[in-house]
Every structure is written in C-alpha cells, then in structure tokens.
Structure 1
Amino acid sequence: MTMTTPPGWYPDPGLPGTERWWDGTVWTAHTRAPDGQVFGPPPVAVVVAPPARRRGPLVIGAAAAVLVAAVVGAVAFRGGDGGGPQPGPAGSSVVASGTVNSPSVQPSSGPSADPRTLVDQLNGITLPIPDGWEKTDDPVSGLVTMATKDTYDCPGDAGFCHHGTVTTSTATMTDLTTAEAVAKHDITDAANDAYDHDPVGSRPYNGITSHREVKSGSVVVDGRTGYLVRWQVRTGAGPGGYVESLAFPSTVGSQAMVVARFAFDAGPGGPSLALIDTVTRGIAPIGGGRNGGVGTSLAPPSL
C-alpha cells in the first residue's frame, strides 16, 4: 500500500536550519525558522516530489468512502468534473530542478486546537467556526476544512452530504497573480467539487444542470483587498446551492493568493448566506490582531 505524507512543516532537505511546507503533494515556496517565524521563498529552486492524488471533494459518498477507506482508512469528500461547468487547465505549482523525496518525519506542532477556530498554518490565518459547524479532516486533499455537523442522505447517488462546507488553500496551481483573476478562474472548479462529481464518479446531487452568477466584487479580507465570485447552482436532484470562491493575498511566505471556498445548500437546511460574510470578516492572522494593507477602506459587499 502506498501512503502519502500528510501536509505539514518539515526540515528543508536543501536548506539546513529551515523548515519548508509540504502540501501533501509537493514542496511549496513557504519556509520558516524552527521557532515558527515564516520567511519568504529562499533563493533556491524548489523541486516537485512524485505526483499524488488530486484535490479532494466536499461531500461523503458511499462509494468514495469504501475506496478511500481501503487506501487511507478514512472517508473522502466530494470533488471532480463532468456534467457541470468544466474546469480550466491546471498549471504547475513550482519549478523543478531535480528529485526530492517527500518528508518522512512528523510535522512541527502548530497552535493548540480550538473548537471555535479553524487554523490554516500555511497561510497564517484563522477562521471562526460557526455554531453547529466543526473542523473536518480531509485525508485525500489535506485542505483545511470545516463543515456543518449535521449530515443527510444525498438526494442523488447514495451517500451522506453536508449542508455547508468551507475550505482554504493556497493557489499554487496557477500563474494568475490577481485576486480577481484567481477567483474567476477557481469558481468553476469550486462548483464542480461542491455539487457535481465525487472522486469515483458518483453524483450525490445527480450533477450540476445550470448555474448563474449572483454576486462578484472586491472585498476586504484581513485588511487586504480580495475578490469574490458567487454562483447559484441547480442540480439534477435536490435544491442545489450557492458556491463562492474568495481569493485574497497571503501575508506570509511567497504571498501567493489564498482561496477560500464556500458551498451552502439552498434548501431548508442550508446555512444563511449572511454566514459567508460573517466568516469572511472573521478571517484574522494566527495569534490575533489585524493586518493593514491595500484596500482597508473597502467593506465586505452586502447581500
């Protein structure tokens, strides 16, 4: 059985005395001192480790659970492509200059767990966990994820679905440099991952049948100007939902774009859309406080 090393901070194989972030698939440009101080990217080339599995899903499917249990001993959330809006081509994450094996030691410990706070160590941010929500581990993608505690039988293919999910990640698979471009590019993948296919081709909602943009524009996230795109998607089964891609500059490491994805059901059990803005306003640096930056005069757009 082939097991992948989980995301985390590990000793940099090419720069002694430094730790580098392993995202579960490749070494990234994010580095830090062993005491936790984050640096920018070092003046050395970062190399790509052997390819691993693709970004994971946001809903638990029965077939997916069986597959992932056999591989990693855990359930997988929904993701994929197909009948709904199609994703754009994938880019490359970092520049290769040789071969480096994945880390084989335990990652450095992060901030202590708080059931009310979702911590994204890589991007140096925290998100408030709303009442009725909880942090959920995604062993397939390694994405920082929270979801509603309550689940229900998916209206399409068999499985269990969440009424709402939120994930954060670093936009390393693209050469886009602005928050607007990243958000507009990501929304298609976000919709597919939330409401179209799961990793084994099942359709918890019988796939996406149509979508429309309901909101887009600039927004302040942790004192920096970001951009959001929100779609309403209709599905072959169930009420469909709302998907948002929110992109904003990271204040740590290489200052790559951070992407937060929101997926909220549109039915009676779905969370209020106002909660998206509440979570967005609550994004803060690890350790508290607020970052200053371009766009501090903006306010989150109203519903």
Structure 2
Amino acid sequence: MRGPLVAGVVGALVLVAALVVSAVLTFAIGPGVSGVPRDEAGGAGPSSEPTPPEGGPGAPEEDGGTPGKPEGDVPATGVDLPVLDGWERDPFGPLVTTGEYKCPGSKAESCLRGSSMIIVAPTDTGDTEDAARNDIGRHAKLAYSKGTYGGIKSHEAVTSEKTSVAGQDAYRVRWKIVNRTKPDAYVESVAFTHPDGSGEMLVLRTGFDIAESAPPLSDMDKLAEGVTEESGGTGDSPGQDV
C-alpha cells in the first residue's frame, strides 16, 4: 500500500515508491504512519481521517505540490506478483498496474485504476498484524494524495483478518476510502514474512479505484494469492501471467 508515479517513471523503482492504486505513476512509499486509527472490520461505519502532524510522515502535501518521497521504504526482492488479465508488470521490481488515466485532481499527471506492489516493512514493525495496521493509513494517503484526489475525506475498515501469502502467515487490512475528488477506492495492506526464510517482513500494497473501468475487487484477492518466491531469488523473474 503511493504517491504519484509520474507515467514514464515507473521503472525508477529503486528511488522508492509506493504502490498506488490509482496513484500517479511514480513511487513514493514510506514507513508505516504512527497514530493511524486501527479500525476493525465491521466497526461502527466510516470515520473521519485524522490530521497527521505537520511535516511528519503522512502529512498532506501543500496545494500544488507533489507528494514527498520519504526515505526508508524499498521495493522487495526475491518475490513476484502474478500478472492478471489486463494488467502489466514493471520489469524492475514486484509491481503490477492497470488502467492508466489522467488524474482527477491534476490532469498533467497519470493515475492508475489499479496497482499492486511489495515493499520491505520497517525493521521495528512487530508482527504481521502490527505491520499491516501500521501501514494501511500511510498507504492510503500516498495512493490517494491531496494533489491527485483532493485528499481522503473518510475511511471504513472493511476487512481485518489473518490470511496467508506465498505459504507464509499473513495479515490483511482493507479500507474503503472516500476521496474529496472522485473516484473513491479500496486500499489494502497485507503483511507477511519473506518466503526465503530470512524473517524479513514484507507488505503487499494494493489499491483499486471504485469505477466502472477499474478491476473487480476479486482481483485484490487474486494478487495476494498469486505472490510467489522467485526461483533462485535473483530478482529478475518475468512474473506469471494469470
């Protein structure tokens, strides 16, 4: 679970970059945000987004600005995502995207109807549940930023559960978010330990617009279910078409 990815810069994975759902085509991921509400699925409905500390992680960009690129988050290596029908895989890392279009809040930038990528979680992230819960707010704000969607007006936690990814125990948190500038969206953070046995914590960040041309929500589950360890761990696997 990213700040604009300006179309054409997708390959700059090493520069940091978060997923985005429909976020603009350039990576911008960062450590999980502290102080983000840890809502449970089935709670008492949508809640207003808290205002993050000024200048801190997750702070809204200034009007007309582009999301910052916080240090610390890097794309994962040794794992791969499936390439679903209608999706494309970035050649430089575990990132798949679909449905490029002009951002509603910034026509000069390109956004995506769906995007999914795997990043390395902060080393002090705790267990999979802690990692997923701490990441989801950060992921949402980067994927649907103020500059491209007017900022997030509210969110509702729709899923919070244990699951498995690449044969590893995992934890999923999914939000439905309401943006000030449509479309609204679903964002998801799924934390799991690296299947290579290193114990490294990873986070799968996925986001979909809620729109007729966006991928079906079932694709979100298929992406998580299709994560695999790269054979040989070389990081150059071409991905699997599904």
Which TM bucket (shorter chain)?
0.5 to 0.7
1:128 is aligned, of 82, 100, 107, to: 82
Alignment coverage as a number of residue pairs: 185
Structure with bigger RCO (C-alpha 8 Å, 6+ apart): 2
- 2:195 maps to 251
The CA distance in 2 between the partners of 1:157 and 1:89, in whole Å, is 22
In structure 2, C-alpha distance between the alignment counterparts of 1:127 and 1:212, rounded to whole Å: 27
Partner of 1:144 in structure 2? Answer: 94
Letter in structure 1 aligned against 2:153: T
Q: Alignment RMSD, CA only?
A: 3.2
C-alpha deviations, 1:78-134, integer Å up to 9, x for none? Answer: 6689x95549869x96xxxxxxxxxxxxxxxxxxxxxxxxxx872x22221111111
Gaps of 5+ in 2: 1-12, 34-47, 59-70, 233-242
Secondary structure, counterpart of 2:215 in structure 1: coil
Seen in structure 2, the aligned counterparts of structure 1 residues 144 and 282 have a Cα distance that, compared at 3 Å, is: closer
Contact preservation (8 Å) 1:79, 1:194: no
How far 1:268 sits from its partner (Å)? 1.2
Deviations 1:57-77 (A, max 9, x none): 6333xxxxxxxxxxxxxx634
Per the alignment, residue 176 of structure 2 pairs with: 232
Distance across 1 between alignment mates of 2:28 and 2:231: 32
Q: Give the counterpart of 1:162 among 106, 109, 112.
A: 112
1:266 aligned residue (189, 192, 210): 210
Long gaps (5+) in structure 1: 1-22, 25-52, 61-74, 94-119, 198-202, 289-303
Residue identity opposite 1:126 in structure 2: D
The amino acid across from 2:88 in the alignment is E
Query: Alpha-carbon deviations, 1:122-169, whole Å to 9, x = none?
Result: 2x22221111111236xxxx8632110x32222222222110000101
Distance 2:160 2:93 in 1: 24
Deviations 1:2-34 (A, max 9, x none): xxxxxxxxxxxxxxxxxxxxx94xxxxxxxxxx
**TM-score, normalised by the number of residues in structure 1:** 0.54
- Hey, what does 1:213 align to over in structure 2? 157
State which structure, 1 or 2, has the greater radius of gyration over its C-alpha atoms. 1
The offset of 1:253, in angstroms, is 6.4
Counterpart Cα distance in 2 of 1:178 and 1:128: 25
